[in-house]
Amino acid sequence: MRLRSPITRPLDVEVFAVGATDAQLCWRGLGRGAVTVEHDGAVVAKAPDAVLGTATVDDLRPGSSHGLTVRPDEGPPRHIRVDTLDPPPGAELGRFATLSDLHLGATSFGLLGLVKESSPVATHPHRCAQAAVAEAVDWGAERLYLKGDLTHKSRPEDWKMAGHFLDALPLPHHLILGNHDVQYTNQRPPADAMAEIGHARERIHVVDHPGLRVILVDFSKDTHPRGIIGAEADLVLDAATVDTPVLLATHFHFHRSVVPWFWPLGIGYRLGHRFLDRLRDVNPRVVVTTGHTHRNRAYSYAGVRITEVGSPKDYPGVWAGYAIYEGGLVQTVRRVAHPDALAWTDRTRRAVAGVWGLWSPGTLAQRSLAHHWD
Ligand SMILES: [Fe+2]
Ligand SMILES: [Fe+2]
């Protein structure tokens, strides 16, 4: 019997994302030619490439199980089941998106940088981030939160690219920094670099959407590669002391063990959990989302739902959309679907001897979830 590693095995068809009424399907090695997706006997989506592609299906019944047929031009059809999320109670009040870990200026990926950039014209972080924004806007995002690691090494050329990217954003946006923006001591102070591209460095952004307050907080410290919660804690706790629910968005993940067992380092266990305890005490209706790990995860700590969302530029290559409901919040993490971005991010799954392709995606339930406030 011939065994194939999960890295080289075709992906076939995967339900990568679900919302209350939509789903994103992804495939690799499905056959030849184009692909159609059928639901209840009708064609509901088409895609040009059966070798590697995605399709989005909309207008599905919420909280229900749906049988879809994915049919390549050549090759057998695949029958898959999509379970849409059970939305929180009440009306949908608005949508926004987050992006983190853009790493503008990077030209390779992996521990030794073995997955290299193929285009010298527009580098992959820029192409992937631009595609992610376009797809988030198409999904319905009205505002964008950038959760840090905008640049790769904080070099002048990285910030110049960041300036071009920010200037071209088609929707209101808010930005905090991550370790890659602040840790390189041979570069200018990050506040100066930001000022040059017309942005002030803010420690905290507080934005009130209908039904939700978003708090975007910067726990990065100049020259440090990990997050340290300092005076920002009181700013966050003050802002979170409201009657409305809160989404706290930040760069660094919270360690889940006293001794961290994977790289990169985030916010230390005791410091982070003391902060989360205080946050929950001032507002129990809070969800926290982070970046930095470039992976997708969801878990709870003492009643606080916490998610980690990956990067648009490395496998699986994602952005996150949030739909606000009167009674809760839906997170849906989608792959960046533009063929050029998808071709790059799919290559990067082979990084770290192929382990990256297993480590980073998380499960569907960790990427797409409905959180009910009560
Ligand atoms: Fe990063
Ligand atoms: Fe980071």
Ligand closest to CA 99: 1
Token pair for 76: 């057998």
Measured CA to CA, the distance from residue 168 to residue 355 in angstroms comes to 35
CA dist list (Å): 294 to 203, 318, 372:
22, 9, 26
Average pLDDT, the chain: 94
Quote the ligand 2 centre to 273 CA distance (angstroms): 19
Quote the ligand 1 centre to 200 CA distance (angstroms): 21
Q: Which residues contact 145 (CB under 8 A, 6 or more apart)?
A: 96, 97, 98, 99, 173, 174, 205, 214, 216, 249
Question: What is the residue extent of each domain of the chain?
Answer: 12-83, 92-372
Ligand closest to CA 264: 2
Contact, 84 vs 63, CB < 8 A? yes
- pLDDT, tens digit (0-9, with 9 covering 90-100), for 284-298: 999 999 999 999 999
Does the pLDDT of residue 61 top 80, yes or no?
yes
Measured CA to CA, the distance from residue 114 to residue 350 in angstroms comes to 9
Quote the ligand 1 centre to 149 CA distance (angstroms): 5
Per-residue pLDDT band for 327 (boundaries 50, 70, 90) equals very high
Quote the ligand 2 centre to 303 CA distance (angstroms): 26
- How far is Cα of residue 143 from the mean position of the Cα atoms in its chain? 15
Q: What are phi and psi of 354, to 5 degrees?
A: 90, -10
- pLDDT, tens digit (0-9, with 9 covering 90-100), for 129-155: 999 999 999 999 999 999 999 999 999
SS3 180: helix
- pLDDT, residue 174, reads 98
Amino acid (one-letter) located at 310? G
SS3 182: helix
Token pair for 268: 């230390």
- DSSP of 186-249, one letter per residue? TS--HHHHHHHTT----SEEEEEETTEEEEEE----TT-SS----THHHHHHHHH-SSS-EEEE
- pLDDT, residue 31, reads 86
Measured CA to CA, the distance from residue 163 to residue 160 in angstroms comes to 5
Quote the ligand 1 centre to 311 CA distance (angstroms): 7
Quote the ligand 2 centre to 312 CA distance (angstroms): 13
Quote the ligand 1 centre to 78 CA distance (angstroms): 36
Token pair for 86: 């059970």
Quote the ligand 2 centre to 290 CA distance (angstroms): 10
SS3 81: strand
Does the pLDDT of residue 21 top 70, yes or no?
yes
* Radius of gyration over every alpha carbon of the chain, rounded to an integer in angstroms: 20
Longest dimension (CA), the chain: 62
Residues near ion ligand 1 (Cβ under 5 Å): 101, 149
Contact, 70 vs 27, CB < 8 A? yes
Quote the ligand 1 centre to 109 CA distance (angstroms): 11
- pLDDT, residue 5, reads 47
- pLDDT, tens digit (0-9, with 9 covering 90-100), for 23-60: 999 999 998 899 999 999 999 999 999 999 999 999 99
Measured CA to CA, the distance from residue 136 to residue 235 in angstroms comes to 29
CATH fold, domain 92-372, is Purple Acid Phosphatase; chain A, domain 2 (3.60.21)
Measuring CA to CA, which residue among 306, 239, 303, 302 is closest to residue 267?
A: 306
- pLDDT, residue 111, reads 66
Measuring CA to CA, which residue among 131, 193, 189, 137 is closest to residue 161?
A: 193
Mean pLDDT, rounded, for 76-88: 96
CA angle in degrees (0–180, nearest 5) for 186-189-190: 110
Per-residue pLDDT band for 2 (boundaries 50, 70, 90) equals very low
Does the pLDDT of residue 6 top 60, yes or no?
no
Quote the ligand 2 centre to 176 CA distance (angstroms): 11
Q: What are phi and psi of 275, to 5 degrees?
A: -65, -45
Ligand closest to CA 151: 1
Measured CA to CA, the distance from residue 288 to residue 362 in angstroms comes to 17
Length of the chain, in residues: 374
Does the pLDDT of residue 9 top 90, yes or no?
no
- How far is Cα of residue 302 from the mean position of the Cα atoms in its chain? 23
Quote the ligand 2 centre to 253 CA distance (angstroms): 9
- pLDDT, residue 1, reads 39
Quote the ligand 2 centre to 360 CA distance (angstroms): 14
- pLDDT, residue 346, reads 95
Measured CA to CA, the distance from residue 104 to residue 281 in angstroms comes to 37
- pLDDT, residue 333, reads 98
Instruction: Tell me what percent of the chain is helix, strand and coil, each rounded to the nearest 5.
Output: 25, 35, 45
Measured CA to CA, the distance from residue 211 to residue 286 in angstroms comes to 12
CA dist list (Å): 144 to 34, 141, 154:
33, 7, 21
Q: Which residues pair with 45 in a beta bridge?
A: 37
CATH fold, domain 12-83, is Immunoglobulin-like (2.60.40)
Q: Which residues contact 220 (CB under 8 A, 6 or more apart)?
A: 148, 176, 177, 178, 179, 181, 182, 227, 251, 252
